[in-house]
Structure 1
Amino acid sequence: MTWVKRNLYFLIACAVAVGLMGWAGWNLWVEWGHNEDILTKLDEQYGKLTNLNNQKPQPGTPGGKVDNIKTAQDQRKQLQGLLAQGTNFFQRILPIPNPESGRVTERDFSATLSRVIDQMQRDATNASVIIPPNYAFSFAAERSKVSFATNGLAPLSVELGEVKAICEVLFQAKINMLENLRREPDSPDDQAGLQTDYLGLEDKSITNDLAILTPYEITFLSFSSELASVLGGFAASPYGFVVKTVNVDPASSGALDLTPMDPGSAPPVRYAPPPTFVPPTPSQSADPYSSGRYGTPSVPDRYGSGPAPGGVPYRGLKGGSPTPPPAYNPAAAAAPAAVAGSRGPQIVLDEKLLKITITLDIVKLLSNEPKAAPAASKGRGPVAGAAPGAAAPGAAEVKPLAEGPATTPRPQ
């Protein structure tokens, strides 16, 4: 005990040193395990880097001759520019009415609906398009109402704008007759309407991560040229019209005559196919002087081109049997030889009226504000005069990805 008392401070220092050494050993063991884990992760990342370097194309060196990472970033910017240009052709159709406050009232919708239906009827008359009498363009249930369901005004205003946009394409194509237009019933007021104005329960709007797809079905009568104009109008429209199916059937005889007109309205101008050339028969073209000049075959007989007339025969000054002068027959002298087998042009296409049913979707993007806004082109196709595969306007020039191995030293 005497030694302990004399070396007390030394013993305390030794005890503290032993404790510190134990604590240091514990930390060393723990950090050694962490170091092993980090080294394992480093080996995994190095393996991925080696795999990327051995691929073709490979990342390359930042700032070097081959820098495929920057090239990929430029290509991403180009794709964003193309996406921004594509949104210009999927513009939203403005609802009718479209107040600044965004809230559609019953009074505004009732007055606007009557005005828009009347305007579309006048547009159909001006375009010589036949429509059913007093047609409401699938809004017959709402046409005579002044009170509507509160939760149905906004969907109805959107559908009214879309129906008007569809009819503008049809009237611009000058179809012969608009038979029917069907839409999705979105309002409780549609339950009291005609079933022919609405699609079935299986045809509903589809919403995905990018857009809302609203179905429509239109049935009209026209010829093939008007059908081409309708499809071209949908393709050139700035709105997202996507034609799904086109069903073409021959129209029934007298389909346009079965539709009565409103009292006091002018009869619509109906399209008629161009006249067909009827080739003449050989009997009609064999004698152009007899039948062509005089109109009837019997008239030339009065002027000497027919058989010798009866009556007193011609007598000369001397005796003997009279010798009549030879009769001149212009038909026999100038009649052209009939061409054997001449039938005229052959009729290849006989245009008939068609009954056409088109189902389409209107694509409404959830966000029409692109993140990148490069210069937008006015046409849907490539820029005029640009070579195939050229970059879009406003997009950065993109270099192709380079190939070749790159050596990357393993970090120590």
Structure 2
Amino acid sequence: MLWLKRNLFFSVSLLVILGFFGYGCFYLYSKWDESGTIQKSLEETDANLKKIYDSSGVFPSKTNIDIIKVQAEQLKSFVADATKIKARVEFDARITPSNFKTLLDNSLADLNKQAEQARIPVAQRDFSFSAIKPLVSFPEGSVGFLAEELADVKALCGILFRSEITSLDNLRRVPVCKPDLDAGGSLDYHTLTGRTNEITGDAVSVYLVTFQGFSESLASVLDNLQRSPYGFSVHLLSVLPGSPMKAPAAPAPQPFGQGAANTAPPLTRNAPVQAGRAPAGPTGAQGVRRLETLADEKAFKVAMIIEIAKPLVAAK
């Protein structure tokens, strides 16, 4: 005890040193597993790098990097050229409300006239503008967006009518103003939103279309969309059984040789004649040739999501 009192400073220093030594041992032990995990990760990274350097495939050499840069420039040039080819659906973004009201009435009347001339039943006589048509004043800032959608609908319906569909059941657009939003349960709208193409910078508008037709009508719709100067693209297509209607049937067979109008058999390239003939009749009468039914196609219902890519117009 006397020695401890005489060497108090030395004793305290020894205790502190022993404490630090114990803490160091504990810290080393606690970090041992972490060191093993880091070492394993380094070994895996080193092995992956060796695979890249030792592989005979793509290697991030200067030559390959230069090739990628050239191809990236070619891709940018291709996108720029493709953007120039596409035409924007023309509309007046600065149209006045009064002029838009006149344009809307005239456009809807013209679309209905086109449908009647093509003998295509249309379920929506207002073509998704039923909430807008009765208005005489429009929310501030909405006329330009409505004029743009009206131009899109006219272009889209023109393609559908030219494709000789059987009927136009539904056409939906994006709600762009308060009257559209207030008609929440209407079949004129969908919940999809437009977007901007990150590569080309095009603004993309989305429309949902449902119509009935035959396989030829569907093929014609897709072909006309592809041939259109506007940036139409189909992103989803669903086909379901339609209403019970059949494709136009061949005319009823008539006996030949019984009048001046039937001097030649009405044979066609697309309607082969059946092999058999009717039993021979009186002298001078010929057998009856009947047309063979090659297909009995029934109409089906088509629902598709159509996007319109519109090149951005520089502000004037």
Bin of the TM-score, shorter chain as denominator length? 0.5 to 0.7
Trace 1:261-340 onto structure 2 (pairs within 5 A). Answer: 272-274=248-250, 279=274, 285=278, 287-289=279-281, 293=285
Q: How does 1:350-389 map to 2 (within 5 A)?
A: 350-366=296-312
Question: Deviations for 1:318-370, whole angstroms, at most 9, x for unmatched residues?
Answer: xxxxxxxxxxxxxxxxxxxxxxxxxx99755322112111111222344689x
TM-score normalized with structure 2 length: 0.63
1:169-318 matched pairs, under 5 angstroms: 169-193=159-183, 195-200=186-191, 203-209=192-198, 210-253=201-244, 272-274=248-250, 279=274, 285=278, 287-289=279-281, 293=285
CA contact (8 A) 1:241 1:360 kept: yes
Q: CA deviation at 1:227?
A: 0.7
Partner amino acid, structure 2, of 1:198: Y
CA distance in 2, matches of 1:294, 1:224: 38
1:106-156 CA-to-partner distances (Å, cap 9, x unmatched) read: 1011111001111111122222322237x0100011112111111321211
1:149 aligned onto 2:95: no
Rounded to whole Å, the distance in 2 between the matches of 1:233 and 1:187 is 31
How far apart, in 1, do the equivalents of 2:82 and 2:165 lie?
A: 29
1:144–1:57 Cα change, 3 Å: same
Structure 1 residue matching 2:310: 3-state secondary structure: strand
- Secondary structure of 2:132's partner? helix
Aligned to 1:162: 152
Query: 1:86 aligned to 2:95?
Result: no
CA distance in 1, matches of 2:292, 2:156: 39
Q: 2:101 aligns with which of 103, 110, 127?
A: 110
C-alpha deviations, 1:368-410, integer Å up to 9, x for none? Answer: 89xxxxxxxxxxxxxxxxxxxxxxxxxxxxxxxxxxxxxxxxx
Backbone CA RMSD of aligned residues: 3.5
Equivalences, count: 234
Aligned AA (1:180): N
**Could you tell me how far apart the structure 2 residues matched to 1:154 and 1:230 are?**
28
Compute the displacement of 1:213 (Å): 2.5
1:396 aligned partner: none
Which secondary structure state, in structure 2, belongs to the residue aligned with residue 107 of structure 1?
helix
Kept after mapping to 2: 8 A contact 1:141/1:190 = yes
> TM-score, normalised on structure 1?
0.49
Q: Output the amino acid matched with 1:355.
A: K
Could you tell me whether the CA contact under 8 Å between 1:91 and 1:368 is conserved in 2?
Answer: no
Query: Given residue 353 of structure 1, which amino acid in structure 2 is its aligned partner?
Result: A
Spell out, residue by residue over 1:262-283, the C-alpha distance to the aligned partner (whole angstroms, 9 max, x if none).
xxxxxxxxx72445879587xx
How much does 1:57 deviate? 7.2
Alpha-carbon distance between aligned partners in 1 of 2:160 and 2:72, rounded to the nearest angstrom? 39
Aligned to 1:121: 112
- Classify the secondary structure of the residue corresponding to 2:135: coil
Contact 1:138 1:183 (C-alpha < 8 Å) held by counterparts? yes
Change in 2 beyond 3 A, CA 1:145/1:291: farther
Aligned residue number for residue 38 of structure 2: none
Q: Which has the higher strand share?
A: 2
Shift of 1:84: 2.2
In the alignment, what sits opposite 2:45?
none
Unaligned runs of 5+ in 1: 1-50, 61-67, 256-270, 296-343, 370-412
2:273–2:292 CA contact under 8 A, matched in 1: no
Q: Is the 8 A contact 2:245 2:299 kept in 1?
A: no
Q: CA-to-partner distance for each residue in 1:68-100, whole Å, 9 max, x for gaps?
A: 96x8776565444322221034432223xx1xx
Instruction: Return the alpha-carbon distance in structure 2 between the equivalents of residues 363 and 220 of structure 1.
Output: 22
Equivalent-residue separation in structure 2 for 1:78 and 1:250 (angstroms): 45
Q: Secondary structure at the residue paired with 1:151? A: coil
The amino acid of 2:167's aligned partner reads M
Gaps of 5+ in 2: 1-52, 54-58, 252-270
SS at match of 1:197: coil
The CA distance in 1 between the partners of 2:202 and 2:229, in whole Å, is 16
**1:250 deviation in Å?**
2.1
Amino acid at match of 1:288: A
Letter in 1 for 2:205: T
| Residue 179 of structure 1, CA deviation | 1.3
Larger RCO (CA within 8 A; separation ≥ 6)? 1
What is the DSSP-based 3-state SS (H/G/I as helix, E as strand, rest coil) of the residue aligned with 1:141? coil
Q: 1:182, 1:199 within 8 Å by CA — same for their partners in 2?
A: yes
